[in-house]
Amino acid sequence: KGTKRLRRPKFVGIREAGLRRLAKRAGVRTCRKDVHKIVHSLIDDFVAGIVSDACAIASADDKKTLQVSAITYALKHHGRALL
């Protein structure tokens, strides 16, 4: 029958290798293991804030679909303008 596979969620966010590449691009040489949990929580909080603001903007415009313009406005509101 072979070996059993571990069941993991399909999407758990940014994986450790991706975080390592991001850190390397930022100039970090090594990271401790617990840094990944902290960075995951920071990214989750940031994305949740942006999405909630974008949903508020979309609902104020009486739209049910979240559009790119709502995301850009939410990013501007947080001080991280794209354009």
Residue 53: the pLDDT is: 95
Give the per-residue pLDDT at 10.
Answer: 60
pTM > 0.85: yes or no: no
Q: At what angle do helices 16-26 and 34-60 cross, to 10 degrees?
A: 90
Residue in 76, 82, 33, 24 with CA at minimum distance from that of residue 54: 76
| pLDDT (0 to 100) of residue 8 | 65
23-78: per-residue pLDDT in tens? 999 999 988 888 888 888 888 899 999 999 999 999 999 999 999 999 999 999 99
Counting beta carbons within 10 angstroms of the beta carbon of residue 74, is it exposed (0 to 12), middle (13 to 18) or buried (19 or more)? Answer: buried
Please name which of 45, 44, 54 lies closest in space to residue 77, comparing C-alpha atoms.
Answer: 54
Tokens representing 9 are 């969620």
